[in-house]
Amino acid sequence: MGIRRPLLVTLTGTISLLFFLILTLPVSLFSSEHALQIRLCRLDVTPCQSELNLPVGRDVDLGLQLLTSQRLLNSASAEMVSWYVSLDLEGNDALKVVSFPNRDMPFQEGGHPDLVLNEWRRLSTDSIPPNREPGYFGFRNSYDSEQGTLQYGVTLVDSDRDSEKSSAVPLSLGEKRLLGLLTIEADAIGKVNFIPVPDKNAGSKIAVLDELGEVRVIDAADQTPLAVVNVGPSAEKARIEGYAGSDVPRHDGELTPYREPFQIEIWQRGAVPPWKGGQGQPLATYFNIEADKTGSFSVSDISPQLIPSGIYDLRLKGESTLSAAQNGMNIDTSGESASGLPYVVSPDFGALPGGDLNGDNLINEADLLALKSVFGVRSKSVDGGMAADLNGDGVIDGQDFSLMAVNYGRRGE
């Protein structure tokens, strides 16, 4: 990383010191300007949706995010080596805190490609203490359902402080990083506030190494709720229920349902996107949406926190397709429906044109070269192969070139 690190004597000493720093340093040593901010947001939605509206029985995934919003202690960058978050759940009887899918802890250290722990270089196995995973140890991860308290902490260590290898991660101005994952399930009518514990010996704190190799601890949250969850039969305000197809032809002439994950974007009415020469950007984006075998999909909890009631343009884009648009769609997030049911938006995006392999919403020479580079291989055997397999038959061949040729020169709507 090219920065000088403090001389901590032993591996165990490193862990003890960092947790000691996080839990015992006086408040006067913490940054009061929130150079780092902890946020709890709905996973796979941007910008941060921290207010959720759920009917009883529905679960939702949350992401613990770290936002680098200001310069870190007069430094343009720093390395994060430890963090600790302690939350009170006010009204926790209304929901269950359950593990992230396929895991057994409330906040997870693996299982999602965007987690920052996937970026840290792991330690060699011969330097790991017993019963600890490579790359980090000393994590505190617990949920007390009776008290409604949630704790999460991770301390990272270096295998060789004289080398450039590090288990810390660099933080830069303006970055948003995913620290952990949490799944909650709406269990009873009520309201739950996720409140950072204000006690100076707990709270939400980040330990970093600055450019001089000094350990600094930053207070990363205030008493404002990090998230609010409303549970009830009329809590959800609006949802999208639509259709997405593929342009891969079927033998019966019908549209082929689009079966790969895609994203839905909500735009200000009439905003011109960059691929059409404008500077518009979506107001909200919902990622990793999947359609069923008929091509139907739904996006729940379109929140007034992100989308006030109004007329909007909707765009849908797959990993290797151009975007399709449905313009002038009314979205009512007021929650004033006489039926008490959420307002439903029903766009039909038709067939998505395939062939945009580099994701710029254009199909041109760059995409053709990308397709040529993996020609003749099985799609699962190389990076980018799944996107290049336009007809989904498992092999990148002439049929995929034919599909790209049909859409060559087109741009997204």
Residue recorded with tokens 């990148």: 396
Asked whether residue 199 is assigned to any structural domain, the reply reads yes
State whether 200 and 310 are in the same domain: no
Residue 87 structural domain: 11-231
Do 164 and 226 lie in one domain? The reply is yes
pTM over 0.85: no
CA atoms of 127 and 130, how far apart (whole Å): 10
**Shared domain check, 185 and 314:** no
Q: State the sign of the Cα–Cα–Cα–Cα dihedral 145, 48, 205, 138.
A: positive
Question: Do 284 and 218 reside in the same domain of the chain?
Answer: no
What local confidence, expressed as pLDDT, does residue 127 receive? Answer: 43
Contacts for 296 with CB less than 8 Å, ≥ 6 apart? 241, 242, 243
Residue 3 lies in a domain: no
**What does the block give as tokens for 9?**
């004597």
Question: pLDDT under 50 in the chain at which residues?
Answer: 1-16, 25-32, 121-137, 158-166, 251
- Last residue of a domain, which of 333, 352, 371? 352
State the helix-helix crossing angle for 398-407 and 365-373, rounded to 10 degrees. Answer: 170
CA distance 72 to 126: 34
Query: Is residue 358 in a domain?
Result: no
Q: What angle do CA 256, 261, 266 make, to 5 degrees?
A: 100
259 SS3 class: coil
On whether both 124 and 225 belong to a single domain, the answer is yes
**Alpha-carbon span 333 to 345, nearest angstrom:** 11
pLDDT digits (tens, 9 = 90+) for 104-160: 788 887 667 788 776 654 444 444 444 444 444 456 788 888 888 888 888 775 434
Q: Read off the CATH number of the domain in which 79 is found.
A: 2.60.40.680
Residue 191: CB atoms within 10 A of its CB come to 14
Using an 8 Å Cβ cutoff, are 206 and 66 in contact? yes
List residues bridging with 36 in a β-sheet.
68
Token pair 């340093």 in the structure block, residue = 25
Side chain identity, residue 87: L
Residue 5 lies in a domain: no
Q: Which of 48, 88, 49 is nearest to 67 (CA)?
A: 48
Residues 154, 18 within the same domain = yes
Side chain identity at residue 153, one-letter code: G
Q: Classify residue 137: in a domain, yes or no.
A: yes
Alpha-carbon span 341 to 137, nearest angstrom:
47
pLDDT attached to residue 29: 37
Is residue 6 included in any domain, yes or no?
Answer: no
Is 251 found in the same domain as 271? Answer: yes
**What's the pLDDT at 60?**
92
Tell me whether residue 385 is in a domain.
yes
Q: Are residues 401 and 319 in the same domain?
A: no
On whether both 182 and 307 belong to a single domain, the answer is no
Domain identity same for 313 and 379? no
What is the domain-level CATH number for residue 394?
1.10.1330.10
Residue at which a domain ends, from 352, 372, 391: 352
| Distance between CA atoms of residues 31 and 216, nearest Å | 9
Instruction: Note the pLDDT of residue 49.
Output: 94
Q: Per the structure block, which two tokens stand in for 320?
A: 């290797």
Domain count across the chain: 3
β-bridge partners, 39: 65
Give residues with Cβ within 8 angstroms of 13, minimum separation 6. Answer: none
Phi and psi angles of residue 378, each rounded to the nearest 5 degrees, phi first: -75, 140
CA 325, chain centre distance (Å): 24
**Integer Cα distance of 76 and 356 in angstroms:** 36
Query: Which residue among 181, 212, 231 closes a domain?
Result: 231
Q: Are 166 and 209 in contact (CB under 8 A)?
A: no
Are 179 and 277 within one domain? no
Return the closest-CA partner of residue 43 out of 24, 63, 16: 63
CATH number of the domain to which 299 belongs: 2.60.40.1120
Q: Nearest 5 degrees, angle CA 233-CA 236-CA 241?
A: 115
- 242 & 223 share domain: no
